[in-house]
């Protein structure tokens, strides 16, 4: 969404037909990775799965294409394969390796295909970590306060914990939001009853 907002033409490659449909409804194009490889400039994986960008894709990418992984492990972009098929490689700049292929094109990989925001950045920004730590602390407090009522071994973060952290963050930012009136709450609760 951010890339689209900055004017990029974003193409989504997807294996889940529901998510693909949602991508189209959000205004994105969809196509298989191997077709996207022919026209893309910047490839970002966010799947958590291995083999998302492979040799057949690298060989279709144009000179100067950039790959990075924002998903999970360093197996989404098959960097081991890229090393194997490249005729030469060099450090293009800090955290960017350039791999020249036999077809003359160079593919650039950020952070060795590792999780880009951790491996190539300076870690998570404080603006994200403060909310993450707040959710963790408030969730731990919830567990302690409700230990005798909880029967499940895995518990999702309760909505009231999420809301409390969000309300504090909005207040810290100096913003205000609307609140439901008692009549609105009654109306909405009548549908949930």
Task: Please report where in the chains the tokens 């939001």 appear, as a residue.
Answer: 177
Q: Which two tokens stand for residue 163?
A: 């809301």
- Interval 131-173: pLDDT, tens: 888 999 999 999 999 999 988 888 899 999 999 999 999 999 8
φ, ψ dihedrals at 183, nearest 5°? -65, -40
Residue 69's pLDDT band (cuts 50, 70, 90):
very high
- Average pLDDT along the chain: 90
Radius of gyration, alpha carbons of the chain = 22
- Interval 74-107: pLDDT, tens: 889 999 999 999 999 999 999 999 999 999 999 9
Structurally, what CATH architecture does the domain formed by 32-119 represent?
Answer: 3-Layer(aba) Sandwich (3.40)
DSSP assigned state of 166:
H
pLDDT for 31 equals 96
Between CA 46 and CA 51, with CA 49 as vertex, the angle to 5 degrees is 105
pLDDT of 126 higher than 80:
no
What's the average model confidence in pLDDT over 101-125?
Answer: 82
pLDDT for 121 equals 67
Q: Which two tokens stand for residue 88?
A: 């030469």
What's the average model confidence in pLDDT over 163-191?
Answer: 90
pLDDT of 29 higher than 70:
yes
Which of 73, 74, 75, 36 is closest to 58 using CA atoms? Answer: 36
pLDDT of 73 higher than 70:
yes
CA distance 118 to 127: 15
**CATH 3.40.50.720 domain residues, the chain:** 32-119
- Interval 2-13: pLDDT, tens: 888 889 999 999
pLDDT of 64 higher than 90:
yes
CA distance 134 to 29: 37
pLDDT for 125 equals 64
pLDDT of 119 higher than 80:
no
φ, ψ dihedrals at 127, nearest 5°? -65, -25
Cβ neighbors of 42 (< 8 A, separation 6 or more) are 8, 65, 66, 68
pLDDT of 124 higher than 70:
no
């Amino acid at each position: 969404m951010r890339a689209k907002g900055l004017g990029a033409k974003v193409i989504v490659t997807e294996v889940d037909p529901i998510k693909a449909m949602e991508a189209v409804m959000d205004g994105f194009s969809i196509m298989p990775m191997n077709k996207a490889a022919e026209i893309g400039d910047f490839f970002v994986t966010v799947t958590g799965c291995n083999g998302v960008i492979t040799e057949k894709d690298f060989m279709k990418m144009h000179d100067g294409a950039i790959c990075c992984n924002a998903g999970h492990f360093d197996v989404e972009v098959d960097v081991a394969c890229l090393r194997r098929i490249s005729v030469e490689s060099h450090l293009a700049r800090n955290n960017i390796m350039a791999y020249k292929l036999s077809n003359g094109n160079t593919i650039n990989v950020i952070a060795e295909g590792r999780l880009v925001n951790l491996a190539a950045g300076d870690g998570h920004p404080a603006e994200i970590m403060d909310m993450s730590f707040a959710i963790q602390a408030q969730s731990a407090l919830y567990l302690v306060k409700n230990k005798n009522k909880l029967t499940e071994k895995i518990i999702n973060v309760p909505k009231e914990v999420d809301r409390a952290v969000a309300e504090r963050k909005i207040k810290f930012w100096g913003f205000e939001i609307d609140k439901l009136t008692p009549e609105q709450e009654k109306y909405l609760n009548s549908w949930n009853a």
